[in-house]
Structure 1
């Protein structure tokens, strides 16, 4: 027998004599909890404990509706205040902006979310989207947007129609709008998991510019007519 064959034979005998206890085996821990089917389904999906897409959709619509209501109604009444100081004129302009803006926001959200739902149905039909996941509801988004717009728009309207007069109306409206925009900016940032400071700054700067520009235009129009 050759030297190579002798070494191979000795190696095989050594492996055969090795105790089986030396070979590690995987054993489940005695105290490991049993996972149900629902646990397994949730465990393999990152963010399974996050709010549903439908809930996030109407929350988004509500925050955007409130923010738009604050800015658009404030810009309208401040712009009119630059040209006219009559309380009745400001009230008519503010209510008109409130109603028109709320209906416009609701219609826009309904159309937008309806298109999103159509896309979700296509994804579901092709197996890309889980059939158990609920579709976004355009009616929920439209209603949330309409209500939020009215609530947000009431803030500058009440500030403009307060018991003060003259330039104090514009100052009071400006202050109320800034506070309201800080609130909506903070809420929107927390919903999206973004830093609140940046969102608040965008809201306040954008709303302030809108009011300043419309007030300037209203003042020019008032001088012209």
Structure 2
């Protein structure tokens, strides 16, 4: 009896990891930018906190809705392809055998072995073989709309809470510096952790997120300062 070797790959987590990192990054950047803009425009401490809280709620709902719709569209496309493949298997099974064998030949198998592999895989799970090797759809990479939506909303909320906590505890006259500095630290940590989990370089991941976050906050604070001076 052949034992199946249980091995987890990073691609098994790519769906939720992408949604979580995107949500947390957006939560930190958008909320920090919002409170910095209001603070730079000479808003009161209460106004800054209200704006940040409203941004958290609105952003989390927007992330969840957007991610759900986007990923659901992908899931609908995958299902349409699978339905069409089912129909083709019913109508022209020999042709589908040849098509699958040709895929394996293209990957380097000789024609005889490719035919044997195609025959055995189709006897075991014809749709699974075609969805995986012809359509590129695997169970690990299947679109999961609800999971993506919840991950995005939850991670956005976690990210957005971080600058809001700083707003609550920091004195009003130090808000700009405190929120900017702590948010950049949060972004660097997030980028490093995401890169680590995804198997990429930690330093590169941290710097990439840090630079874009710093640019967004600088632009927003500058615009807020302009409006504050005009008002």
Normalization by structure 1: what TM-score? 0.73
- The answer as to 2:191 corresponding to 1:185 is yes
In structure 1, the partner of 2:164 is: 157
Match of 1:202 among 200, 208, 223: 208
Give the root-mean-square deviation of aligned CA atoms.
2.2
State the alpha-carbon separation in 2 of the partners of residues 114 and 95 from structure 1. 28
Stretches (4+) displaced over 6 A:
none
TM-score w.r.t. structure 2 length? 0.72
Matched residue count: 182
Instruction: Give, in whole Å, the separation in 1 of the partners of 2:170 and 2:198.
Output: 38
The alignment status of 1:145 with 2:112, answered yes or no, reads no
Deviation at 1:85, TM superposition (A): 3.7
1:1-225, aligned counterparts within 5 Å? 35-36=2-3, 38=4, 49-50=8-9, 53=12, 55-125=13-83, 126=85, 127=127, 128-130=130-132, 133=139, 135-166=142-173, 168-225=174-231
Counterparts of 1:173 and 1:137, CA distance in 2: 35
Q: Which structure would you say has the larger Rg? A: 1
- 8 Å Cα contact 1:160/1:170 also seen in 2: no
Indicate conservation of the 8 Å contact 1:82/1:218, yes or no.
yes
In the alignment, the residues of structure 2 paired with residue 49 and residue 215 of structure 1 have an alpha-carbon distance, to the nearest angstrom, of 44
Displacement of 1:132: 7.8
> Higher helix share goes to which structure?
2
Q: 1:18 matched to which residue of 2?
A: none
Q: Gapped runs of 5+ residues in structure 2?
A: 86-126
| CA distance 1:120–1:51, shift in 2 (3 Å) | farther
Is this contact kept in 1: 2:14–2:198, CA < 8 A? no
